[in-house]
Chains A and B, each alone.
Chain A
């Protein structure tokens, strides 16, 4: 088109594409590792509804608004919702999965540190969305 050469642009685009390929490959690899729950993971059923969380352990114990788990043990959450969509989130452990009506979504984690953590709803769900929280208690074995 114009009199000058365009090669700097192509070099630049090449660099951008290489960078993206690197980011993509790295992300793919990490996600592949975190996507598969270990076989020994204990199942916890999580139900979101306006505006609280209910948890049901494998042995049938139910908890509302709080969740007690053991340190070092992997857990697999089976998440669903009763009325509208919510999102189950333990920010400190990068656990996030939507709670969708009519579906069961799964996500797993293995807490490494004893303590108290916040569980919160991250998907807008109405009046008290901002306050739809629960507490995660990670206890020593």
Chain B
């Protein structure tokens, strides 16, 4: 799986390749590019909110566009493609097949992402990543909204193609000697998240078509004047995007399952409960979508049903956390950079999950809904868990991709700064939400507690930003000039774990 960056190939050979590691490299580079672009917008947003009043962003429309594109970019153009990157590298090797099941389809799925990203960034829409009608149907500026909708269609098709590819690769192409129940948990995570994608994403695809025809004035699905209902869109949207958060988090957990046993020098505590929890999560993911909509005027019975559905997702996540801790228990742990990211990710996963339990309780939801609590809660998931797992895994993949070692001290500095920054930003945002600061606001009331909390959060964001600069310098410098890695055992852990690292599928 070494990409032989030491013996560089011309860029077009990688770009036109259908080999799974090449497509994985393209996914990695694209998703990281969008990570830095979306992160830059986040820093802009935090800088604007440092003081009440107008700071660096000239008007609220620009601000609204910034947070819309920030969210869309980081979810659809960083997290999802990054998971595909890891899947592309590892799934074929883990199921012992020469490539993905459909290599050309794989390349096609990747090449839909850059045009989708271009549409989102060139349009720069302003209706938040929910695109809730009637606002998105009547008020949003024309080309931007249409470009956003079209980009989402493209990205949706791309993720469905990718999901089909993973499912077929795992179920149909795995080596006959490898029973599915013994397949590594990372492969299982891709199987479950791909199944969610296939069930969930078509719903949103339908909603987008309905939204587009509403915008064109030929239908009124979401327009009460024409007999429609704006809440219908929210149901369709959340039926896709509540499960979608599990699509993001399940591969990240799978990545931790790869890192933690290896750096604890112990087998995973329970392979079976890991599989069980993945499957449970992907089923109950669908039972909780309307907990995003308690305040839209639901009946008491509906609210109760969805509260129970939401709470049902918690034990499965708790099983993963237990599995991680039980694996580390009594292990000879080596806190190299990937392990630090994974363990930090677990800690933040636990905090975010605890906040989620509190939030699913109906009365509490009315305090926190659409406040900064929610912003803090889901950012703790996406940054604290998913991005931490992903970044840790990228450090883990680094020697296998480049044949060189990253700088360990810089990696640790990156982790510590990011962890401190994440706690500063997102724990503070929980508190801000309890004080009642609404989300998606360009300006806030100059109350002393708002100002202090926002400033802590903004400073934390700058710390994260600085740590990411260290990261990118480390990655670029080390991939060119880093110490050559011992490919058998880059971290000196001794012994081989689980899957054949030396395996490298030949180019074809």
Report A's interface with B, CB cutoff 8 A. 1-2, 4, 6, 8-9, 12-13, 16-17, 20, 23-24, 26-28, 30-32, 34-35, 50, 83-85, 87, 89, 91-92, 94-98, 100-103, 105-106, 118, 120-131
Is B267 among interface residues, defined by CB-CB distance under 8 A?
yes
A103 neighbours in B (Cβ, 8 Å): 224, 229, 231, 297
* Inter-subunit contact B296/A13 (CB<8 Å): no
* Inter-subunit contact B438/A102 (CB<8 Å): no
With beta carbons under 8 angstroms apart, the residue of B297, B307, B371 that contacts A122 is B371
**Minimal beta-carbon separation of B21 from chain A (angstroms):** 31
With beta carbons under 8 angstroms apart, the residue of A1, A17, A85, A89 that contacts B134 is A85
Q: CB within 8 Å of A: which of B222-276?
A: 224-225, 229-231, 267, 269-273
Compute how far the CA of A31 lies from the CA of B363 in the bound complex, rounded to whole angstroms. 6
* Inter-subunit contact A28/B297 (CB<8 Å): no
What 0/1 pattern do residues 315 to 326 of B give for CB contact below 8 A with A? 100110011001
B3 neighbours in A (Cβ, 8 Å): none
Compute how far the CA of A13 lies from the CA of B127 in the bound complex, rounded to whole angstroms. 41
Q: Using C-beta atoms within 8 Å of the partner chain, give the interface range for chain B.
A: 35 or more
* Inter-subunit contact B366/A94 (CB<8 Å): yes
* Inter-subunit contact B132/A12 (CB<8 Å): no
Question: Which of B93-101, B439-447, B489-497 participates in binding chain A?
Answer: B439-447
B139 neighbours in A (Cβ, 8 Å): 50, 83-84, 126
* Inter-subunit contact B135/A24 (CB<8 Å): no
Known: A96-B366, A105-B296. 6 other contacts (CB 8 A): A1-B270, A1-B272, A34-B363, A101-B134, A127-B64, A129-B442
**With A97-B295, A102-B224, A118-B445 as given contacts, are A30 and B438 in contact (CB-CB < 8 Å)?**
no
* Inter-subunit contact B440/A129 (CB<8 Å): yes
* Inter-subunit contact B230/A85 (CB<8 Å): yes
* Inter-subunit contact B366/A120 (CB<8 Å): no
* Inter-subunit contact B361/A27 (CB<8 Å): yes
**With A20-B314, A103-B297, A130-B444 as given contacts, are A83 and B138 in contact (CB-CB < 8 Å)?**
yes
Is B331 among interface residues, defined by CB-CB distance under 8 A?
no
* Inter-subunit contact A30/B363 (CB<8 Å): yes
Compute how far the CA of A130 lies from the CA of B61 in the bound complex, rounded to whole angstroms. 11
Compute how far the CA of A97 lies from the CA of B135 in the bound complex, rounded to whole angstroms. 18
B231 neighbours in A (Cβ, 8 Å): 100, 103
* Inter-subunit contact B229/A102 (CB<8 Å): yes
Report B's interface with A, CB cutoff 8 A. 60-61, 64, 126-128, 132, 134-135, 138-139, 224-225, 229-231, 267, 269-273, 295-297, 300, 303-304, 307-308, 311, 314-315, 318-319, 322-323, 326, 357-358, 360-364, 366-367, 369-371, 436, 438-445
Q: Is the interface of B mostly helix, strand, loop or mixed?
A: helix
Closest to B317 in A: A16
**Minimal beta-carbon separation of A120 from chain B (angstroms):** 6
**Minimal beta-carbon separation of B352 from chain A (angstroms):** 15
With beta carbons under 8 angstroms apart, the residue of A12, A100, A128 that contacts B322 is A12
* Inter-subunit contact B442/A16 (CB<8 Å): no
Closest to A4 in B: B269
**Minimal beta-carbon separation of A107 from chain B (angstroms):** 9
* Inter-subunit contact A129/B273 (CB<8 Å): no
* Inter-subunit contact A130/B443 (CB<8 Å): yes
* Inter-subunit contact B297/A127 (CB<8 Å): no
**Which A-B residue pairs are the 9 nearest by beta carbons?**
A102-B224, A91-B436, A27-B361, A105-B297, A130-B441, A84-B135, A122-B370, A31-B362, A130-B442
Compute how far the CA of A34 lies from the CA of B295 in the bound complex, rounded to whole angstroms. 13
* Inter-subunit contact B230/A31 (CB<8 Å): no
Compute how far the CA of A75 lies from the CA of B126 in the bound complex, rounded to whole angstroms. 36
With beta carbons under 8 angstroms apart, the residue of A32, A95, A98 that contacts B300 is A32
* Inter-subunit contact A9/B326 (CB<8 Å): yes
